[in-house]
């Protein structure tokens, strides 16, 4: 599956270089994560995460570009005032950790505080760990509580009410970003959209979006 997911981006992109794949520590990519690296620029890679089933981000595509600094992996991907991870937001703030201007807020990237295995460790951390964290910890079922300080509301009636409202708005934004990607897909991803039958996914979510809007009429 890892090879197939790499090839999904290969039809209209430069060929993948096996050496660049070592930045993933040769770990098998989890389901619904796709990665493309470049033969002539092994310090650059593009990742696509498909929103997991059953959460507000279901079927959404989340595009992130990474630059590996010369000191990698001895330094985290954000150091010396250089942001080395960029999220393609489409202009929407769809998650507390993903900003409109492309900033990715994550302890592993040194863009947020953390401790223990939450922060970058040159001996054990990898791009794979970053991608898995984004998939499982950022794109989760209750993203409202990812906002700084909001974790104190977990388990309270107010917190659950706010979380539900946030999820409803996030679902609508996810539908908007899916339609935006259909109109203006990032470069070098047309083969992936075909592989995922993204037009069908967008149609399905658009129908759900329309039903959601009808509830407010």
Active site residues: 105
Give the side-chain half-sphere CA count within 13 A for 45.
26
Looking at residue 179, its pLDDT comes to 78
C-alpha span between 124 and 117 (Å, rounded): 9
- Model confidence at 20, pLDDT cuts 50, 70, 90, reads very low
Instruction: Report the DSSP beta bridge partners of residue 85.
Output: 66
In percent, the amount of the chain with pLDDT more than 70 equals 71
Question: Is residue 5 pLDDT above 60, yes or no?
Answer: no
- Across the chain, mean pLDDT equals 77
Q: What is the pLDDT of residues 159-197, one digit of tens each?
A: 999 999 999 999 889 888 887 777 777 766 666 666 666
d(C-alpha 61, C-alpha 21), whole Å: 21
Which region among 15-24, 72-81, 128-137 has the lowest average model confidence (pLDDT)? 15-24
Q: What Å distances lie between residue 70 and 27, 44, 164, CA to CA?
A: 22, 11, 43
Q: What percent of the chain has pLDDT over 90?
A: 27
Which structural domains are found in the chain, ordered by start?
2-214 (3.10.110.10)
User: 73-100, pLDDT tens digit by residue?
Assistant: 888 777 555 668 889 888 889 999 999 9
pLDDT in tens, 26-62: 457 888 898 888 788 888 888 989 988 889 998 888 9
**Hey, what are 13's tokens?**
């992109």
Facing residues of 52 across strands?
none
Tokens of 129: 């760990």
Does the model's pTM come out above 0.85?
A: no
């Amino acid at each position: 599956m890892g090879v197939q997911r790499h090839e999904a981006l290969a039809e209209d992109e430069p060929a993948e270089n096996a050496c660049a794949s070592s930045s993933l520590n040769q770990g098998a990519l989890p389901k619904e994560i796709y990665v493309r690296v470049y033969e002539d620029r092994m310090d650059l890679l593009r990742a696509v995460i498909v929103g997991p089933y059953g959460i507000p981000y279901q079927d959404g595509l989340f595009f992130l570009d990474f630059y590996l600094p010369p000191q990698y992996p001895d330094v985290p991907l954000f150091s010396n005032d250089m942001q080395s991870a960029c999220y393609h937001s489409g202009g929407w703030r769809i998650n507390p950790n993903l900003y409109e201007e492309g900033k990715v807020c994550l302890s592993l990237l040194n863009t947020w505080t953390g401790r223990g295995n939450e922060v970058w460790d040159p001996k054990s951390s990898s791009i794979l760990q970053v991608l898995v964290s984004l998939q499982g910890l950022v794109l989760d079922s209750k993203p409202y509580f990812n906002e700084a300080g909001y974790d104190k509301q977990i388990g309270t009636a107010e917190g659950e009410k706010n979380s539900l409202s946030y999820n409803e708005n996030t679902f609508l934004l996810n539908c908007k970003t899916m339609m935006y990607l259909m109109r203006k897909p990032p470069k070098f991803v047309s083969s992936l959209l075909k592989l995922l039958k993204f037009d069908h996914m967008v149609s399905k979510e658009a129908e759900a979006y329309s039903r959601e809007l009808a509830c407010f009429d």
